[in-house]
Amino acid sequence: MTSPFRIAIAGLGTVGGGVVKALAARQDELSQRAGRPLLLTAVSARDRKKSRGFDIPGWSDDPLALAKGDADCVVELIGGDEGVARQLVETALANGKHVVTANKALLAKHGKALALLAEEKGVTLKFEAAAAGGIPIVKVLREDLIAHGVDAVKGILNGTCNFILTEMERSGRGFDDVLAEAQAKGYAEADPTLDVGGGDTAHKLALLASLAFGTAPALDAVSVEGITHISADDIAFASEFGFRIKLLGTARRVGDAIDQKVQPVLVRASSALASVSGAANGVLVDAGEAGQFFFSGRGAGEAPTASAVIADIVEAASGAPSPVFGRPAAGLTALRPADGKAAISPWYLRFEVLDVPGVLAAIAGNLAEAGVSIESMIQRGRAPGEPVAIVMITHETAQAQVERALKAIGASDKVRARPCMIPMEA
């Protein structure tokens, strides 16, 4: 009889609890798919006394003990790029145990070193749940879209931000108000900085770029901008032009370099990414001659993320180890960053200015001096003495030129707030 595949889980939060419940509810079917019995033998979490609504086998107060016990596979759901999570994964791999993790921060920072260790020990390191929740984008990039290579991958990778932007558009409310609602509903953390600041998306993008382009994860090469400065006016103006604002993580080839950006983008309302609403995620892959492929689904939460973890466990139990990032780790090249300032696109520009003669002419002069030409413009009146919003859409222009113009415009005492610039889909 085939020996059981023994599983130890560190971390019994939302995802860990979902994994335990799914293993118990569908053990026979999952074991058949794995080709051997799947047996949960040990767990570890912070609070042993907490009521969780399911049986807990083999409790350990020390998560590192899981990496030294008799488990064949350690599932790391603690989180964080250092500390116990890193020690657990490194120790488990060093002891010849398969590892399944949802820890995008750890892999974005230490991915190549961990991949080298896994391959040296002949074990699996899998992380489908680390990017886009239940969407199987890691497997797609690692195994399925390899015939013609990938030219670009871009996506909505953070459900918190997408919920906020969707609700701002639906209700017309401001960022702070909708963020408070997202926190009340459990979509946003008490400290939402990692989500709304773009850091969470950057971690996931670094992993997707590695899979797509054969480079070592390069988190420090990702340009990151969040959504905290997006106003209800920006959402409304974008709609008037036929666009929606989405926080996108984008990695694309530029010659022999890679441009990685996390930033708000105006996407056409008719596009696939614009249709991704609420807390959902969506990923668009340009696979060269094979064409474009679009994937969408729930990007977080118990069921979709636990589903991705379970799929990795079954694959680890049933198959021979494969390269962590789709290529032998020793062959992962150092990512050469592209000059992001040279990126060309149309731009959405918004200025809050005093409604006095000559302001518009001065803005137009600064833009012209920087080589930025205007395609269309909207100006809204306000009550006497209040700032007025001027919104412009530019022709395709390099980012550096637009930034140069806005620096000059922002220095004027007639401009009452920092000018807003957001790239647009061409």
CA distances from 4 to 101, 322, 343 (A): 21, 21, 53
Three-state SS annotation for 144-170: HCCCCCCCEEEEECCHHHHHHHHHHHH
Give the DSSP H/E element, type plus range, for residue 387: none
Residue 204 falls in the annotated catalytic set: yes
Residue 394 in contact with residue 347, Cβ under 8 Å?
Answer: yes
Starting at the edge strand found earlier in the chain, the sheet holding 98-101 runs 38-44, 5-10, 73-76, 98-101, 125-126
Residue 213 in contact with residue 253, Cβ under 8 Å?
Answer: yes
Q: Please report where in the chains the tokens 């696979």 appear, as a residue.
A: 287
What backbone torsions phi and psi does residue 90 show, to the nearest 5 degrees? -65, -40
Going by DSSP bridges, is the β-strand pair 73-76/98-101 parallel, antiparallel, or unpaired? Answer: parallel
Give the span between the Cα atoms of 84 and 113, in whole angstroms. 17
CA distances from 383 to 232, 304, 354, 360, 386 (A): 18, 49, 11, 18, 6
| Residue of 204, 246, 341, 407 marked catalytic | 204
Q: Is 227 helix (H, G, I), strand (E, B) or coil?
A: coil
Catalytic site positions = 204
